[in-house]
Structure 1
Amino acid sequence: MRKPLSLLLSNIEGFWLLAIITFFTIIITKTPRCNLVEKYSNKQKAPLPPGPKPWPIVGNLPEMLANKPAHKWIHNLMKEMNTQIACIRLGNTYVIPVTCPTIATLFLREQDATFASRSLTMCTDLVSSGYSTTILVPFGDQWKKMKKILTNDLLSPHKHLWLHDKRTEEADNLVFYVYNKSKDVNAAGGGLVNIRSVARHYCGNVIRKIVFNTRYFGKGRTDGGPGFEEVEHLDSIFVLLKYVYAFSISDYIPCLSGLDLDGHQKKVKEALRIIKKYHDPIIQDRVKQQNDARKVDEEDWLDILISLKDTTNHSSLTSEEINAQIIELMIATVDNPSNAFEWALAEMINQPKLLQQATEELDNVVGKERLVQESDIPKLNYVKACAREAFRLHPMAPFNPPHVSMRDATVGNYFIPKGSHVILSRQELGRNKNVWNKPYKFKPKRHLKGDGSNVLTEPNLKFISFSTGRRGCPGVMLGTTMTVMVFARLLHSFTWSAPPNVSRINLSESNDDIALAEPLVAVAKPRLAPHL
């Protein structure tokens, strides 16, 4: 499976990587943190999953760098090898991609305890302030401590109900803002709405409101849209999302981390600087208010995090833990609902009957004399089916966060060494032709159940919405609510169509990731009474 060396050297990053590796070979072989992969031949009773033959020391890093983006190279490699589980060695690390739901459940259900850790990367270290948070943190006491706080103190059913009005306020603002955009006669063509921007800023507004009890960092805008501060803040959050598990060279050859060969470290640090520019003053002022006893009532998640006490009546969390956990909560909240709605609406505009079915359900359940409320969600089965189909066919990222093996294991007759990074393919699980009929067809009705009990989770990993197991998302209730509300509010309140002179929405994926190649722009026309 090796490619000719001349082809690899034609890629500048591959060239520099090989040149640097040649220079550092002696150092690498003598430095403990850069030791070569352990030899398992005397231990293993089963073979490793199939994969390309690795180069000495660097493994398959040169091939990965010569065939960017990495997720496309991995998926194409697996298709060429006709396998649904593979073993790719990157530097000193075995990376195990999985595209089969049955195999995926072996990892996250039958042997969940073995694969409950996380990888150590440059970006996750920076974002989590040295692994002081929850999602990005390896298995251990810190993870247990923070997960308990998230589950019991921030994301419990009681706290979800407590924050209901804040979420509703942002759902109302969403409709208000899009209504203003739809009536903007000065815009080119009139009524054009950038769906990606609208959906992402709705998600950003919700998480800012429940964390900081504010929509705006600055003065705000009278039309309900984001100001400069909110745009800069949200853009920085999406920078972190882009690089958080981005197959960085230094993550697999740590002794090269100081060189920042791919430039990820610089971009992540700059994004964190911008985010903290907005967060730090609020957090510092709130801590001072509580210390001075000027703030008694809890209004948001920040108040809760600051007020938590241990058994000795001291603060349970350090300021570093609070800061880092808030950033992690934000990157975990903004992308899934917004990506799902953008893709779903693009697909539905191209299939108008789907839009009609969704609006008919909304009119039957809600009517046209009021706006959709969270209490309507249990009855909106077709709307939830549309969201599930978007998660299935158009996930937010190619892979889920790595599940790191804490010990040697045998899974599906394959040997998985301790320290392996198991990455489930969000993209290919949902498009597996052995599971889904016409997998590339956007068909919401495939998710409708006769008992009407549609939910957005998928425990059997036929696709991934919120993952499952010990490292599954603890915010399923919040994520589900945000997703269904952005779908329901915008499908109920407006009719949607392609822009003038566009007969069909282009559904091409981006070359760099699996988002729409171009942000969806659509024409919105109000379908409810203006006073709503």
Structure 2
Amino acid sequence: MDNNVFSSTELQIYFALLLVVLTNFLFLKRFLPYHQNVESMRPRLPPGPKPWPIVGNLPEMLRNKPAFRWIHKLMKDMNTEIACIRLGNVHVIPVTSPELSREFLKNQDSIFASRPTIMAVDFISKGYLTTALGPYGEQWKKMKKILITDILSTRSHKRLHDNRVEEADNIVRYVYNQCNDKDKGVVVDVRFVSQHYCGNVMRRVCFNKRFFGNGMKDGGPSHEEVEHVDAIFTMLKFIYAFCISDYIPCLRGLDLDGHENIVKKAVRKVDQYHNPVIEERIQQWKDGRKKDVEDFLDVFITLKDACNNSILTPEEIKAQITEIFIEGVDNPSNAFEWALAEMINHPEILKKAAEELDSVVGKERQVQESDLNKLNYVKACAREAFRLHPVVSFNVPHVAMDDTTVANYFIPKGSHVLISRQGLGRNPRIWDEPEKFKPERHLMDKDIDLALTDSELRLLSFSTGKRVCPGVMLGTYMTVMLFAKLLHGFTWSVPPNETSIDLTESKNDIMLAKPLHSLAKPRLPAKVYQG
């Protein structure tokens, strides 16, 4: 669209911003001299564009969508690894430096341990009842303790081993079943397969079921599962999508950028599938029809306090289950799709991964979780995908709970700190040939940590500090198992009549612009796929 032409939606947004400026002008004029005197005594803010009164840099952000690309371009043009962009009355602090990231997430972790209270999270978490998305406070402490102790503990991980393995085996059978001609293979939508593998695993560990309906005979998702996964990914897309009302709260409800309606619709769709399962299970435990703990939902329901009262309300259970799905589906599926696309364009990488799998596993059985620690090259491929192709550009925002100073810059209370996954992973000061997919760069250590994390924050996968993802164990096993199962079970190449995979990023996010389609052929004896 011509940058000099305003759409009707943009005109509405700018008109609303103008009203905000006008209604606040007289109030600010009265207090501005005092505000300026206080500001003059503080250390300087990180560098950034000069903000407009009241609305800050929102006009520039709205004219340069998507916001994450605009922010990274600003930082590149200013040649800085930390910036300050004021959106409304919020100081947004993007960071692309590992050293500065460690200052925020490690050295001053206790100050930056909160989350913003924003529209999408409010709806998804049913009023901030959850862990990862909720602001710092007693509710967050309560839910985090439950997740660490009862849900995502090592004991729980072992108990749900069979659920995870069955879904990994199922996705291999599903792809194999598509190959009507085993010699010619079949063109597979890798994004579809990997996302639904993740959806299947999460449904099994949360609800002990693969399908909401009858499912498909070949093991693939039916329309219920497709709707469910699509709604989860819609939530993920809009959780921190730089919604205008998140920075000027008085505009909430007007839905000027359309985000609110989209998020509400996705929440309703997920509730449509989750709520009947949760409510029926609660009743089963009340009636005594359910006696054995089989999944996360059972654990949530059976948690009791000293007086034998339920620790969690139904609303807390519903909200936390949804958040677990959100945390579990995106990283593994995106990493595999991007990694496979890169590996197909570099067949020598695919060959090395297959040779390692054959050496460790052989060709007479499928990969098991017990094999994963020995698959260093496969893990290196996964880590390289996290580095070069993170699922989102910025990590979930950290909110400053007090004024502080970082690298001699003043960081005001309430600032939203955005650690750039792209900026860390592609930082040319840290990485040699940062734009190149090179798994070997991660083989310097004798054994690669299965968790795929980096203590120096040169890349960011599952965060760190108080806000580290509690599901890091589950997420990393899901990721490495997805890589191992599909790289071991099939050869992958470009579809017929194509010469390479297009690695263009999407305009509005950093996923592949076109879902990866690849020719898959079975590489193991037929009996192995039926096991």
Q: Calculate percent identity across the aligned residue pairs.
A: 59
Q: Pick closer, same or farther for the CA change 1:283–1:387 going to 2, 3 Å.
A: same
* Partner residue, 1:137: 134
Q: Is the 8 A contact 2:390 2:421 kept in 1?
A: yes
Matches within 5 A, 1:175-194: 175-183=172-180, 191-194=186-189
Q: Pick closer, same or farther for the CA change 1:222–1:394 going to 2, 3 Å.
A: same
User: Is residue 466 of structure 1 aligned with residue 465 of structure 2?
Assistant: no
* Partner residue, 1:363: 358
Aligned with residue 527 of structure 1, among 520, 523, 526: 523
Q: Is the 8 A contact 1:86 1:97 kept in 2?
A: yes
Q: Is the 8 A contact 1:182 1:523 kept in 2?
A: no
Aligned with residue 507 of structure 2, among 495, 511, 532: 511
* Partner residue, 1:257: 252
Q: Name the CA distance, whole Å, in 2 between partners of 1:51 and 1:427.
A: 19
Q: Is the 8 A contact 1:8 1:62 kept in 2?
A: no
Q: Pick closer, same or farther for the CA change 1:69–1:369 going to 2, 3 Å.
A: same
User: Is residue 286 of structure 1 aligned with residue 281 of structure 2?
Assistant: yes
Deviations 1:344-396 (A, max 9, x none): 00000000000000000000000111000000011000000000000000000
Q: Pick closer, same or farther for the CA change 1:492–1:8 going to 2, 3 Å.
A: same
* Partner residue, 2:392: 397
User: Is residue 380 of structure 1 aligned with residue 375 of structure 2?
Assistant: yes
* Partner residue, 1:436: 431
Q: Name the CA distance, whole Å, in 2 between partners of 1:379 and 1:24.
A: 59
Q: How far off is 1:254 after superposition?
A: 0.6
Q: Pick closer, same or farther for the CA change 1:252–1:136 going to 2, 3 Å.
A: same
Question: Secondary structure of the equivalent of 1:438?
Answer: coil
* Partner residue, 2:55: 58
* Partner residue, 2:404: 409
Q: Name the CA distance, whole Å, in 2 between partners of 1:251 and 1:313.
A: 40
Q: Name the CA distance, whole Å, in 2 between partners of 1:131 and 1:37.
A: 37
Question: Secondary structure of the equivalent of 2:492?
Answer: strand
For these two proteins, the number of residue pairs brought into alignment is 523
Matches within 5 A, 1:89-238: 89-183=86-180, 191-238=186-233
Q: How far off is 1:453 after superposition?
A: 3.6
Q: Name the CA distance, whole Å, in 1 between partners of 2:472 and 2:453.
A: 8
Question: Secondary structure of the equivalent of 1:524?
Answer: strand
Question: Secondary structure of the equivalent of 1:258?
Answer: coil
Q: Pick closer, same or farther for the CA change 1:38–1:173 going to 2, 3 Å.
A: farther
Q: How far off is 1:473 after superposition?
A: 0.5
User: Is residue 422 of structure 1 aligned with residue 417 of structure 2?
Assistant: yes
Q: Name the CA distance, whole Å, in 2 between partners of 1:289 and 1:64.
A: 50
Q: Is the 8 A contact 1:8 1:15 kept in 2?
A: no
Deviations 1:445-478 (A, max 9, x none): 0001342244301121101110101001111110
Q: How far off is 1:13 after superposition?
A: 4.6
Q: Pick closer, same or farther for the CA change 1:249–1:38 going to 2, 3 Å.
A: farther
Which residue type is aligned with residue 345 of structure 1?
L
Question: Secondary structure of the equivalent of 1:400?
Answer: coil
Q: Is the 8 A contact 1:13 1:65 kept in 2?
A: no
Q: How far off is 1:184 after superposition?
A: 6.1
Q: How far off is 1:29 after superposition?
A: 5.6
Which residue type is aligned with residue 298 of structure 1?
V
Question: Secondary structure of the equivalent of 1:96?
Answer: strand
Q: Pick closer, same or farther for the CA change 1:462–1:17 going to 2, 3 Å.
A: same
Q: Pick closer, same or farther for the CA change 1:288–1:251 going to 2, 3 Å.
A: same
Q: Name the CA distance, whole Å, in 2 between partners of 1:460 and 1:263.
A: 39
* Partner residue, 1:18: 14
Q: TM-score, normalised by structure 2?
A: 0.95
* Partner residue, 2:477: 481
Q: How far off is 1:27 after superposition?
A: 3.9
Q: Is the 8 A contact 1:8 1:66 kept in 2?
A: no
Q: Pick closer, same or farther for the CA change 1:38–1:414 going to 2, 3 Å.
A: farther
Q: Name the CA distance, whole Å, in 2 between partners of 1:276 and 1:211.
A: 14
Deviations 1:75-121 (A, max 9, x none): 00110111110000000100000011111101001100000000011
Task: Give the superposed CA RMSD.
Answer: 2.0
